[in-house]
Structure 1
Amino acid sequence: MANILIVEDDKAQRENLKTMIQEMGQALCVLEAQNAHEAFEISTANRIDLFYLDVHLPDVSGLELARKIREVPYYNFTWIIFITSHIKYMLEAFKEIHCYDYILKPIEKDAMQNITMKLLTNNKPDIEEKTERKHIFIEISGVMVKIFVDEIVFVEVYRKTCVLHTIKGKYEVKNLSLKKILSTTPKGSLVQSHKSYAINIGLIQEINKKLSCWEIIFKNYEEKALIGDKYKDNVMNICKQYIIRR
């Protein structure tokens, strides 16, 4: 099932576009957001296959939202379609943000349905097909296990045991250091937050600062990681890159 996110502050227009997509009779999940802040939260909690972004949003512009979306590695080449009444904005969008088309208001149902079907049939742009999904191999009881880096929630090391917490489960490896994990995974994919933890910034739900050692709560994952004093500034500086200002 493909996930489509509609970002439009006008409720009537948002509902109209949603209805057009649902009438296509395909296995499509339509998500909605009324501003950029809400849209970015939804796009980090879900894997979006196609974005429809209104250029004019109440908090920041759709163009600024698209730039933030592009900073997330998974969305480097995801389809982005702009909704606009003014074609003048589209030159900037094509050059800087690599959007793939736009729809002018008032939206024509046939045009919108045709482009949706075309893009989802082709899945992602050709350039992404040439980009291998990052992964590592770990050996457990003589078996080599392939783990995709974007599925790692956090890594925890204690008593010479390394635990990889992933969205598909936990893997324990003896005599594997945190330093070795960080040197093996692609640069920036995991960030050290504590002498015993390295975290996936993109999967953070909340950071609890009420305790001396901050706690990290992740999306759809019960266990927590920690942020030690030595690493607080670095983690927060990285997190700020993903903030959508209201």
Structure 2
Amino acid sequence: MKFLVFEGFTRRREMIKRLISDCVRGAVIYDCGSMEEAHSVLAENSIDIFVVNLHLDKNKGEIQGLRFIELIRDSERYFDAYIIVLSELIDKQLVVYKDYHCYKFYENPIDKDEFKADIAELAFRRELCRLREKLKNTDYCFVAIEDSIYKLNISNIILIETHSKYDLIYLRNVGELTLPKSVLKGLIHNLERTGMLYCNRYDIVNMCNVAHIDRKKHMLTMDECGREIYISETGRKNLKKYLEYWKAKS
């Protein structure tokens, strides 16, 4: 995971880098104090998340950092990148949200715990985006449900909910289907090669369709049906192994 910190003040720049390192293991952090440095980093690297400080340069009479955000948004590569903005200034007109679609605006001094939580959340989202790209052309399989043959694109599976006598499968743009127990057994072989995760003994989720993860409450929220899924202790171990596996393949 690569970060770029655009901050003119050395002490604050080091503090931001330390906070990022605390919550994202193995983070690669580039720090820039000028547009020239930023141009060089952008040209030579692919950045996942930006942290940009805005401050008034009284000598030049301009707000440092805004030009850099404009540069990011003008780039085809970064037009939808995540940007967190820090500043002593107050954004009464919500410019960073309305004009530049930044993720969040912090007034300095920042709440360090809140900042770290945001960084961890965005890093998780970026990992999911990578998984979606890898798995969007994933395999499909055929299953028999009642008296019909269904072709299932595994990437369209949102989650599978297991019960004692039957299972429920939730599909994107289709909804809920009831599966005989024998069908899930046939699916397992296909699911093991994709982004499916056993969260607990009853729920198997497609990580490509996760909208949000709450690490404090140990809950996942699915992006289409809005279901909240509890992650058991075993599920948390599975999630850790899963993310480490895909990170190693990146």
TM bucket (normalised to shorter chain) is 0.3 to 0.5
Q: TM-score, normalised by structure 1?
A: 0.47
* Structure index of larger Rg: 2
Q: Which has the higher contact order (CA 8 A, sep 6+)?
A: 1
